[in-house]
Structure 1
């Protein structure tokens, strides 16, 4: 039991890296509702509204009027868990692990966004955006069979990005914006003992700086290509780890200072927009994300009393994520001056691997289809609506853990079937 709570906290931290969000790993795509309608196929080249501040800051140079855009996306994920089993293969708890596997552990989640862009002249534009680039929320039922590998996670990154763009000529524009990023998280898990389950709760937060930069090149008035670089951001989450339950003995109710280093990965987004005619616009895009930065989790704990120091040294658990690519194709059709229809198809690789995937990282490669609608009741106002549906390949979990003294080997195996619905709405107003 001396090592149980820290190892469980470690599994929780690993769990913070994934959920059924609308992008791979623990990234979120929901920074633009107009982009959502085309599965983000033209994210770095479309520059249709103020949300280009995130998609490609160079695209602000295409906006001719002062503009504000705000909205939100709602994500509803569904998970079926099949063929589940769990056990302790040694020690006093030897035998099957009891518990349920209800699935649907991701609560409905809202992702807000807001942008403001002001073209200063025909060369310069300034703007600021607030959005959520990474996040998750998972909450398994009480008594989940895989609870010892983590049963609750809530992590979010909120970003503020002041941005500037410059247009060199009719073809070339550039943009740059530093990002101020705030990360918060709460992670929980059960801890086994013959006296009954205990509970481990880890909380932490940090603020760190990164940047986004982009280039937009217009080959012709109807064809343009964009490249956007989103930098890595390095965090050191500081908070505390609290343990409760009779199995912790005299340490029941104790709280210890904790820290966790985490780097959100850099990415490169490349896309092409082509206005086929007055009605049809086509989009294509690809994005590379350096998830291989996530090799392992290390948790540091301070203020641990003497009897527990030997078992609470830093623990490293391999994750070995790999870099990923995502691809998307999209189209928009302008019905008339007021109505535009959009659609898109995307494929997103999962960064996880079969060796280290856990119940808190149950994602696999995914496919998404999207539909969007834009309504322009006046020249000053645009309302965007979008819907996305994604589904993943069946993902197998084969997770085990051996405690340091060798007294206990813990297992959880299951097959996850994941899907998610995304709904978005936004309003853009031009002054």
Structure 2
């Protein structure tokens, strides 16, 4: 079987596209205090300085300067079943490394009306690393995306009932990806390799409003703007025998793609049912339909390939999504608060378009949390989450060739978030 130059380059570019596509799955690890109630009241409750992300208008409800930060730990697993493929390989499924996500915030009052703050958090991220020899390695082997955001923010209180907040977001994305090419296509006993790296910075914003509708009912709404990236990096191809045209294909190529990450709207209600019990309900809409497809521009190619491969496109067909959450907090004692919540988070992809790099489905999230304040100045928060996803099917061919892979993926994860807040 002779493998064409077009298939090799398309494989590399398709890998770059899915690398960015994986970044489209939002992280929710920005606050342990909100995580305990499944982020159900994130836009309508100002528990501590982490409101800078959940709703910047909530900063107006903080009486003193405070610093708050922590870590979220994620232990995920994947069960792969009913795997079938043109070429042989393993299907262990242990492809998500143990991950740690940091976050930190500082907020201070300027006067009775104005507050200012700054936050550091990760809004997007993904990491997967299948075993060597995995059967689907031609569609994806390793994927790593990290997005870090710094957000300086101000809030303004019109009165005791209405406040607004705004902050520009300065974000950086770094990505690394690897995949294999089928050695059998080149008459080789080993699989050639594709390695991709890229990065970019962009500016967006986060804005919110918070309203006290009654003495016991609050409503908040937060808008996270779209983020426009132009990723620049290298696509390196190695290991193709010279007899198969490797002299023309092996090497490093400049790659660039423009992509817009979607905006989202988060809204929630907080209801103080009793002096001890608070109830939350919220919803988040994300405009994933922006990712209908990706166009990648290439340079540094051999002149004979530039007309064909200067721009390569890939359809994604993602859809807008809604996530819904309910939760509550119970003030057990003046020093202890207990939290619980449930969320339903829908996937932007389906069986028709799901890929091995992001084999996600609709998910259910169950959370428990607690806060302990040993003094008026210091609070520790912790939250546990169990995430279970519905089984989803993946069926992919390799760059338009007869080489195929299909399987059922069922994902789950355990999460632990820890946070400390100090007021002064």
Query: Aligning the two structures, in what range does the TM-score lie when normalised by the shorter sequence?
Result: over 0.9
Aligned to 2:407: 414
Query: Residues 2 and 311 of structure 1 are in contact (CA less than 8 Å); yes or no, is this contact kept in structure 2?
Result: no
- 2: CA distance, partners of 1:323 / 1:254: 38
Name the SS for the 1:352 alignment partner: coil
Indicate which of 167, 176, 188 corresponds to 2:178.
188
- 1: CA distance, partners of 2:224 / 2:289: 16
Indicate which of 223, 234, 237 corresponds to 1:229.
223
- The CA deviation at 1:251 is 4.0
**Post-superposition CA distance 1:185-237 (Å, at most 9, x none):** 01111112322311111111000000000000001232210000000000001
Kindly report which structure 2 residues correspond to 1:107-122, keeping only aligned pairs within 5 A, or say none: 107-122=97-112
- 2: CA distance, partners of 1:216 / 1:283: 14
Q: Which moved more, 1:73-82 or 1:356-365?
A: 356-365
Kindly report which structure 2 residues correspond to 1:74-153, keeping only aligned pairs within 5 A, or say none: 74-87=73-86, 97-153=87-143
Number of residue equivalences? 414
- The CA deviation at 1:10 is 3.0
Aligned to 1:270: 267
Indicate which of 348, 355, 361 corresponds to 1:358.
355
Kindly report which structure 2 residues correspond to 1:242-257, keeping only aligned pairs within 5 A, or say none: 242-247=236-241, 249-251=246-248, 253-257=250-254
RMSD: 1.5
Kindly report which structure 2 residues correspond to 1:205-216, keeping only aligned pairs within 5 A, or say none: 205-216=199-210
Query: Residues 248 and 302 of structure 2 are in contact (CA less than 8 Å); yes or no, is this contact kept in structure 1?
Result: no
1:3 aligns with 2:2: no
Name the SS for the 1:356 alignment partner: coil
- 2: CA distance, partners of 1:84 / 1:281: 47
1:169 aligns with 2:159: yes
Indicate which of 339, 344, 352 corresponds to 2:341.
344
Q: 1:419 to 1:17 in 2, by over 3 A?
A: farther
1:197 aligns with 2:191: yes
Kindly report which structure 2 residues correspond to 1:47-62, keeping only aligned pairs within 5 A, or say none: 47-62=46-61
Stretches of structure 2 lacking an aligned partner (at least 5 in a row): none
**Post-superposition CA distance 1:80-111 (Å, at most 9, x none):** 10000111xxxxxxxxx111111021111111
Aligned to 1:317: 314
- Structure 1 length normalisation: TM-score? 0.93
- 1: CA distance, partners of 2:21 / 2:346: 13
Name the SS for the 1:205 alignment partner: strand
**Post-superposition CA distance 1:360-403 (Å, at most 9, x none):** 12111000000111010100001011110111111001112454
- The CA deviation at 1:17 is 5.0
Indicate which of 204, 216, 219 corresponds to 2:213.
219
- The CA deviation at 1:272 is 0.5
Name the SS for the 2:213 alignment partner: strand
- 1: CA distance, partners of 2:283 / 2:94: 30
Indicate which of 389, 397, 400 corresponds to 2:397.
400
Aligned to 2:295: 298
1:423 aligns with 2:416: yes
- 2: CA distance, partners of 1:190 / 1:259: 21
- The CA deviation at 1:165 is 0.3
Q: Which moved more, 1:129-138 or 1:8-17?
A: 8-17
- The CA deviation at 1:14 is 3.8
Stretches of structure 1 lacking an aligned partner (at least 5 in a row): 88-96
